[in-house]
Amino acid sequence: MTTRSHSPLPAAAVAVAASLLAAALVLSVAQEPAPPVQQEKAVTNDEFVSLFDGESLAGWVGDETLWRVEDGAITGETKAEAPVDHNTFLTWSEGELDDFELVLEYRIFSGNSGIQVRSFALEKDHAVGGYQADIDAENKWTGTNYGEQFRGILAKRGEKTVIGEDGKPKPVASLGDPDELAKKIKPGDWNTYRIVARGHTITCEINGTKMSEIVDEDTDVRRRAGLLALQLHKGPPMKVQFRNIQLKRLPLGDVKKVVYVAGKPSHAARMHEHNAGALLAQKLLNTHHGDKVHVTPYLNGWPNDASAFQNADALVIQSDGGPRHPAYWHLRQIDYLREQGVGVGTLHYAVEMTPGEPNDTLIAATGGAFEIDYSVNPHWDGKFETLPRHPVARGVKPFTIHDEWYFNMRFIQDMAGVTPILSAVPPEETMSRPDGKHSGNPEVRKMVAEKQPQHLCWVIERAEGGRGFGFTGLHYHDNWAQDDFRKTILNAICWIAGADIPEEGIVTPALTQADLDANLDPKPAPKAKR
């Protein structure tokens, strides 16, 4: 019997995010990261990236008693003396698939397998459900689009179907005789599988021949994003291999995609909660503005997924700064995104790299940056009494909130294209610390004494195209609970992505304590007293 699954869109993203977040348990947050090599070039939007290094299962998660690398290929095998009791999968752990073109080679020696796309984790170990491009040794099902724990057969080989609101597929066109199409498949030899997903249309091709296609109009169940996984089927012993796994992401088209990069843990609990912030923003926007934007988070630093930004309309970074900034060693990628018109936004410490090329790159993309020995980072009550007429300020009412509000930013020359959104006058106590790299200098002391307003959140419309923003607050995770604070951030994210902002702004429900407590970073235990 086929089980009809109502897994919402964010489930797969949260599952991937949770697995990545778990990796933080082994981090010593006090340890500075080893400097990686500066990326030589950006990954462009029109190139394929490899998801398999040909030597190891790095980036993949599954039962390693069943999966290995053999002859330069990912190899899955079950044996008679150790049968599996459920279909088991090797899952790509570096990201999720939305709109994409996936090309790989496979060969199967026995049994039944498949390629899961836009799928979701099930309760059993290494079990996955969702859309599956089928493979079997007898070529009875190869080329079929099957819904694993997800409505059953969606399109047989040779069919184009439309899946209605009742979850049932209806054939609407023939792609050829199934037996004739099977002759295009080489038994026991390497075959090239190509899967293309655009919107809610998924096409399966083998060796250059279209085998099946679905258009999923089941709005309650269909999936726009989710996991990539490879299958080993329960039952008789089987063996399957995959190699040359290549991915290229495609523009989403009907919604704007936001890639939200969260930095690694660093501070005490409820401060610099970058991962929790990314997952909270994803939940709020995908749930309450999901017809306009789709947020994909990457946790604990720069994505290992080289394709991460290929179809991004905006990049948002919430992280620590300086050399701990996730983009610090990826300046060429930031430049490429800016040149492509992709929006770039930075939250709290992510507004700072270091003077010179890193900060120049940030300023060109977002309009401003924190500069050591120039900008300052005191904790104070920001009183925002007036707001500009700008989409990012829509629905935002005057408010006051305590935060580590950085100010005296280094802005782009003449503030060209920059519009301040949140500005406030710092009180004299912000200058209570001695001068230092982050704490004061004669120029900023004079500005505070003269009660000059400081710009704490700003946006830019870049001269060459594209948008950016900087937001210096968000040291305290619980500040998300303040409605106007939260709305300013969500409005800014959507605006740089090019999404429409309603007149009342992005409206989301009041946050509960459970909302704020969700996904907080694990912190090291306090040191025992001697």
pLDDT digits (tens, 9 = 90+) for 392-451: 999 999 999 999 999 999 999 999 999 999 999 999 999 999 999 999 999 999 999 999
Looking at domain 256-517, its CATH class is: alpha beta
Task: Say if pTM beats, i.e. exceeds, 0.85.
Answer: yes
Asked whether the beta carbons of 52 and 245 are under 8 A apart, the reply is yes
Mean pLDDT value across residues 86-95: 98
Q: Which pLDDT does position 254 carry in this prediction?
A: 93
For residue 5, pLDDT beyond 60: no
pLDDT digits (tens, 9 = 90+) for 248-302: 999 999 999 999 999 999 999 999 999 999 999 999 999 999 999 999 999 999 9
CA-based nearest residue to 467, from 458, 456, 476: 458
CB 222 within 8 A of CB 163: yes
What's the average model confidence in pLDDT over 106-115? 98
Identify whether the C-beta of residue 348 lies closer than 8 Å to the C-beta of residue 277.
no
Which region, left, alpha or beta, applies to residue 160 given φ > 0 means left and ψ of -120 to 50 means alpha?
beta
Quick check: 19 pLDDT over 50? no
Residues 337, 341, 342, 348, CA torsion sign: positive
Asked if pLDDT for residue 6 goes beyond 80, the answer is no
Across the range 153-165, mean pLDDT stands at 98
Q: C-alpha distances in angstroms, 508 versus 148, 277, 314, 488, 522?
A: 34, 15, 20, 12, 27
In the block, residue with structure tokens 């609407």: 172
pLDDT at position 140, please?
A: 97
Give me the residues paired with residue 368 across strands.
411
Q: Do domains 49-249 and 256-517 have the same CATH topology?
A: no
Checking if the pLDDT of 1 tops 90, the result is no
Percent of the chain with pLDDT over 70: 91
pLDDT-derived band of residue 40, with 50, 70 and 90 as boundaries?
low
Q: 14 or 218, which is more confident?
A: 218
The CATH number for 49-249, chosen from 2.60.120.560, 1.10.10.10, 3.40.50.1110, 3.55.30.10, is 2.60.120.560
Mean pLDDT confidence for 81-93: 97
Query: What span, in angstroms and rounded, lies between the C-alpha atoms of 327 and 323?
Result: 9
* Domain limits, the chain: 49-249, 256-517
pLDDT higher than threshold 60 for residue 175: yes
Q: CB-based contacts of 26: which residues, under 8 Å, 6+ apart?
A: none
DSSP calls for 420-448: EEEEEPPPGGGG-SPSBTTTB-HHHHHHH
Summarize the confidence of residues 460-473 as an average pLDDT.
98
Q: Does the pLDDT at position 239 exceed 90?
A: yes
**Whole-number pLDDT of residue 152:** 97
Q: How confident is the model at residue 527 (pLDDT cuts 50, 70, 90)?
A: low
pLDDT at 523: 74
Does pLDDT of 29 surpass 70? no
pLDDT tier for residue 528 given thresholds of 50, 70 and 90:
low
Q: Which two tokens stand for residue 509?
A: 């429900």
Choose the weakest-confidence range: 18-22, 133-137, 416-420, 502-506: 18-22
Is residue 124 over pLDDT 50? Answer: yes
